[in-house]
Chains A and B, each alone.
Chain A
Amino acid sequence: MGYQEYLVARELVSTFGQPILAYATLISAILLLLSLYYLVKREERIIEYSIKLLQVNTILIALGFIVLMWFHFKIYSTIEVIYPEYVTAYMYQTSGIQLTSSRFAIPLWIETEKLYFWALCLSLFAWQISRKYRESAKGIIVSLNIILSLLIVITYLYSNPFTEPLPIVHSEITNWSQAIAAQNPQIVGQIAMQLFGRITYYYNSMYMWTHPPMLFIAYASLAVTFAACVFMLFKKDEVFDKIAYSHAKIGYLLLTVGMLIGYPWAVLAWDGEWWWDSKINGSIMMWVLYSAYLHTRIHLHRKSMWEVTAILGIVCFISLVFTYLLTYVVPGIHSMAQV
């Protein structure tokens, strides 16, 4: 197997990816300051500058994503888990599975890459808004720039995918490589069994390739709804509702289908009672709140319903962030947190 080749690829990801994200973070910091300045001074030329910076930033983030895609492809092409004969015989006897070998088809939204993917999606939505509503919704463009800048700075500081690319995958690949080098059949067998489970039911799983990206694209779209709902609170302008609703539609569709796709996966992976797990609670809460938002919006022009809908749109996004953070804060079956 090409472990050395993999290591070189991992090194290259850091070499090329780090400066890309560093520049994107620097631009984000400038964008943040410019956006705050605009909110105070309302100078038109600031909008022009910030849109240009947003475009440069989106291109940088997309470039970084291409680097990550290349790295994932290199993992797939260089690392092959070839199962020892007694493991294949055991798997065939116990579950009828005919094992030969496996490759890692790692999704692009795991470990430290989650926030990066979310930032990429939000950049694209922000760019689209800045093109479509350049004249009619400058406040929303600026607000999205603020949210995006904060997201990129947080990604750089706490979830940088280029400082130590895919640490868990890396430790699994390294363990496998060391076991092969040690030529201890028992250890090789043990690790092969573990990797078979991880590769088949997690990395290469159809659910992993569909459930999380749908949710991250939904989160990015719903961030736009949030920004527009904040403006709805201050001004009864139809364009704010138009932006909020058009992005709530994309977000709700992906949220609904994405969450539903996660269901059979949960049934398969977590046999037994998992329904009222904290993360599941958070996800249901988020979905019912967005359903409530879409219902109240039907009567938007009735007395007080404009404000109620706007407040619900804001509460929905708070619930979204809360649900995302639950993975890291509250322990549970769908969680990375430890007490």
Chain B
Amino acid sequence: MSSTSSSSKSNSNLNLNLKNYDYYLILATSFALLLIGIVCVYGVWYSYDLYTTNSNWQSTIQFSEYITMMNMYVYPFVLVLLLSLGLCIPKRIVPRTALIKATAVILLLTLVASVVGGIGLGITFILLMSIAVQAVVLVLTVIKSGALTFEREGHLIQIGSSLLHLGTVLFIFDFASMRDSVYHIPVFWVVTVLMGIGTLMSFYPSEISRLGRKIALR
């Protein structure tokens, strides 16, 4: 009896810790998103300022400098976003400490890749790692892995959330690393399908399952 009670107490402590962990990760994600928004506002102000002094500035060296500057400013926050997604979505498959260690290793390897092959290689590396992680989470979710529980319940929401996050990471990868590839636009349409269906499933799980039941009954 006492062992059952202590086990349920430790389970509830674990759930509470995971709730806190989720909470701080979601705060970090929101903060990174907010900072990306601020970078965008700065970009608007900066380009408008250049327009007022030289309406033809996009044909000058200032334009490529502006593009480089914006990329430089936004990359760190995209990195934070990718790391927080990497820590948040697979949190129940992998023990938390192992997940944090793995993330630290990925971050270190990304830095090494950036130093050796430039920031482009670093970004490609971390994006590929993120895609791999999100794809594994998606597969585990689809086969109804008992190890997975998300912040909000419901199998459709879980699959939707996985699709949406995989789509987001794939979009960043397609944009950052595949712009000159012939597969750029086909991959982009895959992203659109993943994000569209992912959002629908995350937002309207009960409606979709009701519709599914109706179709099955026919």
Q: Which residues of A contact B (CB under 8 A)?
A: 249, 252-253, 256-257, 260-261, 263-264, 267, 273, 275-278, 281-282, 284-285, 288-289, 291-292, 295-296, 298-299, 302, 312, 319, 326, 330-332, 339
Task: Check A331 against B26 for contact (C-beta < 8 Å).
Answer: no
Task: Check A261 against B192 for contact (C-beta < 8 Å).
Answer: yes
Task: Check A276 against B66 for contact (C-beta < 8 Å).
Answer: yes
Interface 1/0 per residue, B36-60 and A, CB below 8 Å? 1100110110011001100100000
Instruction: Tell which of B27-35, B102-110, B119-127, B209-217 binds the partner.
Output: B27-35
CB distance from B164 to the nearest CB of A (A): 9
Further pairs besides A278-B43, A295-B29: 8, Cβ < 8 Å: A260-B195, A263-B188, A282-B40, A289-B33, A296-B30, A298-B26, A299-B22, A319-B37
If A281-B43, A288-B37, A298-B151 touch, does A330 touch B67 (CB 8 Å cutoff)?
no
Task: Check A267 against B23 for contact (C-beta < 8 Å).
Answer: no
Task: Check B52 against A339 for contact (C-beta < 8 Å).
Answer: yes
Indicate if B163 sits at the interface (CB-CB under 8 A): no
Q: Which of B34, B47, B51 contacts A276 (CB 8 A)?
A: B47
A326 contacts across to B, CB distance below 8 A: 44
For the complex, would chain B's binding face be called helix, strand, loop or mixed by DSSP majority?
helix
A291 contacts across to B, CB distance below 8 A: 33
CB<8 Å pairs between A and B, sample of 17: A249-B204, A252-B203, A253-B203, A256-B195, A256-B196, A257-B192, A264-B185, A273-B63, A276-B67, A276-B70, A281-B40, A281-B43, A282-B40, A285-B40, A288-B37, A289-B34, A292-B29
Work out how many contacts link A and B, with CB atoms closer than 8 A.
102
A284 CA to B152 CA, complexed, in Å: 26
A221 CA to B22 CA, complexed, in Å: 29
Task: Check A275 against B67 for contact (C-beta < 8 Å).
Answer: yes
If A261-B192, A291-B33 touch, does A299 touch B26 (CB 8 Å cutoff)?
yes
Count B-side interface residues using an 8 Å CB cutoff.
Answer: 41
A261 contacts across to B, CB distance below 8 A: 192
A285 contacts across to B, CB distance below 8 A: 36-37, 40-41, 44
A-B pairs, 5 with minimum CB distance: A285-B40, A292-B33, A281-B40, A292-B30, A249-B203
Task: Check B23 against A292 for contact (C-beta < 8 Å).
Answer: no
Q: Which of A253, A278, A302, A319 contacts B47 (CB 8 A)?
A: A278
CB distance from B88 to the nearest CB of A (A): 10
Indicate if B141 sits at the interface (CB-CB under 8 A): no
Task: Check B40 against A302 for contact (C-beta < 8 Å).
Answer: no
